[in-house]
Amino acid sequence: MRNDPVLGIWLMVATTFVFALQDGLSQHLASTYNVLMVVMIRYWFFAAFVIAISARKAGGLRAAAQTSQPLVQGFRGLLLAAEICVMVLAFTYLGLVESHAVFVCYPLLIAALSGPILGEQVGWRRWTAIGVGFIGVLIIIRPGAGVFSPYALIPLLSASMFALYGLLTRFVARRDSAATSFFWTGTVGAVFMTAIGIWFWEPMTPMDWVWMGCLCVTGAGGHYLLIKCYEVAEASTVQPFAYLQMPFASAFGMVFFGETLRTNVAIGAALIIGAGLFTLWRERQKRRAG
């Protein structure tokens, strides 16, 4: 594998920008049309992209689909599709700024659950960082305050689902290739979303079909950039830059949707990101020591 950390970092920056743009397009469309229909159409394009990528690899579609753990792979695909629906729903209620401020805690959830689910050892330093991160979440959602909105729990649910998806991805990676996991993610998600989303079909205006096309292209483009990113650099090198999706998405929310960044959200997000970066650093140190 080629090792070019600088190129990998720039590819991750581009990836987070494209995914943030995707989130802005999702919010725009989901504010007018049913969330399930929007995600379903997005998955159709994503599945076509996954199948095209898989067909070009050695062994073709048969090799990509081959797995000894179909139930776990299938559940991963369902879980990610459901998580995307929940997160897009959060955009419609809370906007991009606050949704991403809470969602950014998912790496901490992965760290907290990696012990009981994967049997990984989590030391006291990382537990402390996880605790600090969740203080940040509480600062953002402010439970017990007069302005607390139960809608703030929607991105927290999305983060929990995505963390479980991430852990299951680690689990299946012990026996399956990344190409196999990618294939199951796209195809199972498309089948699942079609089964439930087709019942909520509604006609779209020609301009909104243009926006939908942009959403589909950014989804596939973001995944393509992410694949290239991991091809040229180690995950531990580029992963910290994945946090850039939050400021990018927040900027789109403020510029295009008139959202504001409240002080408690900024403070809470800073604590979460700081704690997340520390857990990534500790994980890297442990790998070096091992």
The predicted structure's pLDDT at residue 81: 97
Kindly report the pTM of this predicted structure. Answer: 0.91
- Note down the domain range covering 117: 94-175+260-290
Segment 207-244, tens digit of pLDDT: 999 999 999 999 999 989 988 888 888 777 788 888 88
* Distance, CA of 163 to CA of 209 (rounded, Å): 32
48 lies in some domain: no
Alpha-carbon distance of 102 to 199, in angstroms, equals: 31
Distances (CA, A) of 272 to 37, 75, 142, 266: 32, 28, 15, 10
Identify whether 13 is part of a domain.
no
Question: In 10 A of CB 40, how many CB atoms?
Answer: 24
Determine the Cα–Cα distance for residues 141 and 156; give it in Å rounded to an integer.
10
Structural domain includes residue 112: yes
> Given pLDDT bands bounded at 50, 70 and 90, which one contains residue 146?
very low
Q: Does the residue 56 lie in any domain?
A: no
Is residue 226 in a domain?
no
Q: 208 lies in a domain?
A: no
Question: CA 77 to CA 181: how far, in whole Å?
Answer: 9
Query: Tell me, what's the pLDDT at 126?
Result: 81
Rounded percentage of the chain residues whose pLDDT exceeds 70: 96
Total count of domains within the chain: 1
> For 72-108, how does the pLDDT look when each residue is reduced to its tens digit (9 = 90+)?
999 999 999 999 999 999 999 999 999 999 999 998 8
Is 146 contained in some domain?
yes
DSSP character string of 68-117: S-HHHHHHHHHHHHHHHHHHHHHHHHHHHHHHHHHHTTHHHHHHHHHHHH
Residue 189 lies in a domain: no
